[in-house]
Structure 1
Amino acid sequence: MSMETHLLVPDDHGLGRAAAILRAGGLVAMPTETVYGLAADARNGAAVAQIFAAKGRPRFNPLIVHVADLGMARDIALFDARAEAVAAKFWPGPLTLVLPVRATAGLSPLVTAGLTTVALRMPAHPVAQGLLRAFGGPLAAPSANPSGKVSPTTAAHVQEGLGGKIDAVLDGGACSVGLESTILGLDGAPALLRPGGIPVEALEALLGPIAAGGHADKPNAPGQLASHYAPDAPVRLNAEAPQDGEVWIGFGPECRGAHLTLSATGDLVQAAAALFQTLRDADRLAGPGGKIAFAPVPDHGLGRAINDRLNRAAAPRP
């Protein structure tokens, strides 16, 4: 069943209207500094179920809960000294913490996928912050796109993927980071559950060595499925040159003949912000039967997160 998806201006009136939709159990896409998220009341099971239905998302895949401030976060999860230190340094921002969930949190069980932990983030985007304050509670919000497809970094991307399936989109312009948040597990030894907008090196400077974690078959945080962020065209990685029928995406000045580029100067911050839009542009250029090839991207700093997304985009489709 199709519905009208309203495009809202993020002024006081638009934020108030969006908050009212959320209180009524509806779905609102909101901008964050990472990507657009599809928000619902995290304590309303029927509303959270609509997220999974709209996205076609498997219910064993947990959701990130967005909070306005640290007080709201502490009401939901147990913070030890490490979590307090990380939150003090990196929140608000593109970092999600996986922590033990409080028995009194009141979250829908769908949010945590039945786990004893919860993924929490305090976004820095002023529109996301404005909506969280207008709503007055935690919002469950995965990326606002069909499950497994390219993440949205503009309101138009949300409309392309979910128009007619959700109530509204708050248009906050293009996302500045352009990659989903880094997910750090702190329910035991520190574990990198998903690379993202905060380089792991920055976290290790505070916490010491961080091991890799996560499970594609039984995710303990979002973004761990083997096939994800996928365009329609198949993707080939580490391509020094294009093959017949491929749209070649370059990185750095040595890729002068590329059809598109993540960053002509080899800037990883620029490349991260451009990744999902470039994937969409390449998919359109490739057309039916076409393919996409990416030049190598260095695997350090934000390059680690970029390569994580590219590996999942290139994985065999389910």
Structure 2
Amino acid sequence: MTHGKTETLLPDPAGIARAASLLAEGQLVGLPTETVYGLAGDATSDMACARIFEAKGRPRFNPLIVHLPGVEAVERIARMNAAALALASAFWPGPLTLVLPLREGHGLSPLVTAGLDTVAIRLPAHPVMRAVLATFGGPVAAPSANPSGRISPSTAGHVLAGLDGRIAAVLDGGACEVGLESTILAPAETGTRLLREGGLPREAIEALTGPLILDTTPGKVQAPGQLSSHYAPRTPVVLGSALDDPGTIRLGFGPGPADLTLSEGGDLVEAAANLFSALHKADDLATARKAHAIHVAPIPDHGLGRAINDRLARAAAPR
């Protein structure tokens, strides 16, 4: 479906009201969150959800995350056990998604859950997204606002670069503060499974839950972001290689020569916030220079570094 030129909305009361009105009409709107921009549609509308898959070119077996304003709204569509409630109390609103059992009469489109008996839910912290949710008054499905498998968007410009003309509007809330998608957990009384590394570091979660059960690449996709090839630029990504090949774009971390850097000071929080923006810039630079690859410097595999390495590994996976 095409819309001509996608409308750009300001993060003011008029822009928020316009975004909510478009959602109520079954249209799609790129919305800012603290993680990445989401491609938002009415989660109760089959047509709106189908438009999300169409606009992104997303596989139908890949479930969508539902965004809600508060725990009371969550409990109307899903069952929360003690472990889920503890996680919600500690980390919501924020960059955490919980995969929870659906309630009878949940009202969501079956396209949201991809045929599963669970639903992925998040309470975003971004004030603009929260204002749209409050104005719209219903559950919003919002995967990352980019063509499926490509680099996730951390600015409104990134959304337009991938989806201009394919969605009704994008609400420009500035650059995303976290810059990585949410961490996804499946909480149970017998233990909590980690389904996707993300913007909430594992260490912070395990301080509450104890050791997590790692289940990030299961045989069957149970949550968004588990496809082996994902977050990919047009230019091949090579990890851990020497950064002295003149035919490549060098993406650095910490001090040292590089065309672009995730964090010159070696700060993982800064690197996470810059990751997708840096990949977009590296891809454009590679095209301009006719470079054959993007070489990425090693990233420490702790804290947010785990999520950064997860995204980079999926970006570098064979397509």
Measured in 2, the distance between the counterparts of 1:272 and 1:244 equals: 26
Q: Equivalent residue for 1:277?
A: 277
| Equivalent of 2:250 in 244, 248, 251 | 248
Q: Equivalent residue for 1:286?
A: 286
- The 5 A counterparts of 1:75-224 are 75-187=76-188, 189-215=191-217, 218-224=220-226
Measured in 2, the distance between the counterparts of 1:240 and 1:246 equals: 10
Measured in 2, the distance between the counterparts of 1:303 and 1:91 equals: 22
Checking the alignment, whether the CA contact within 8 Å between 1:245 and 1:286 is kept in structure 2 is no
Higher mean displacement: 15-24 or 130-139 = 15-24
Measured in 2, the distance between the counterparts of 1:29 and 1:66 equals: 13
Q: Equivalent residue for 2:317?
A: 315
Checking the alignment, whether the CA contact within 8 Å between 1:30 and 1:169 is kept in structure 2 is yes
> For residues 51-108 of structure 1, what are the alpha-carbon distances to aligned partners after superposition, in whole Å with 9 as ceiling and x for unaligned?
0000000000000000011110111110111111110110000000011111121100
TM-score between both structures, scaled by the size of structure 1 = 0.97
- Paired amino acid for 1:291: A
Deviation at 1:217, TM superposition (A): 5.1
Q: Equivalent residue for 2:258?
A: 258
Deviation at 1:239, TM superposition (A): 2.1
Q: Equivalent residue for 1:295?
A: 297
Deviation at 1:249, TM superposition (A): 1.1
Measured in 2, the distance between the counterparts of 1:300 and 1:62 equals: 28
Checking the alignment, whether the CA contact within 8 Å between 2:22 and 2:29 is kept in structure 1 is yes
Higher mean displacement: 215-224 or 104-113 = 215-224
Measured in 2, the distance between the counterparts of 1:167 and 1:192 equals: 34
Q: Specify the SS of the correspondent of 1:169.
A: strand
Q: Equivalent residue for 2:56?
A: 55
Measured in 2, the distance between the counterparts of 1:148 and 1:241 equals: 25
The count of residues paired between Structure 1 and Structure 2 equals: 315
Deviation at 1:291, TM superposition (A): 0.9
Checking the alignment, whether the CA contact within 8 Å between 1:38 and 1:51 is kept in structure 2 is yes
> For residues 180-212 of structure 1, what are the alpha-carbon distances to aligned partners after superposition, in whole Å with 9 as ceiling and x for unaligned?
000011256311100000001111110011011
RMSD: 1.2
Structure 1 residue runs of 4 or more that deviate by more than 6 Å after TM superposition: none
Specify every segment of 5 or more residues in structure 2 that has no aligned partner in the other structure, as ranges: none
Checking the alignment, whether the CA contact within 8 Å between 1:152 and 1:276 is kept in structure 2 is yes
Deviation at 1:221, TM superposition (A): 0.2
Q: Equivalent residue for 1:233?
A: 235
Deviation at 1:2, TM superposition (A): 2.8
- Paired amino acid for 2:192: P
Deviation at 1:216, TM superposition (A): 5.8
Deviation at 1:167, TM superposition (A): 0.5
Q: Specify the SS of the correspondent of 2:191.
A: coil
Measured in 2, the distance between the counterparts of 1:86 and 1:135 equals: 26
Measured in 1, the distance between the counterparts of 2:144 and 2:166 equals: 14
Checking the alignment, whether the CA contact within 8 Å between 2:217 and 2:228 is kept in structure 1 is no
Q: Equivalent residue for 2:71?
A: 70
Q: Specify the SS of the correspondent of 2:227.
A: coil
Measured in 2, the distance between the counterparts of 1:126 and 1:268 equals: 24
Q: Specify the SS of the correspondent of 1:218.
A: coil
Specify every segment of 5 or more residues in structure 1 that has no aligned partner in the other structure, as ranges: none
Checking the alignment, whether the CA contact within 8 Å between 2:154 and 2:176 is kept in structure 1 is yes
Measured in 2, the distance between the counterparts of 1:10 and 1:259 equals: 33
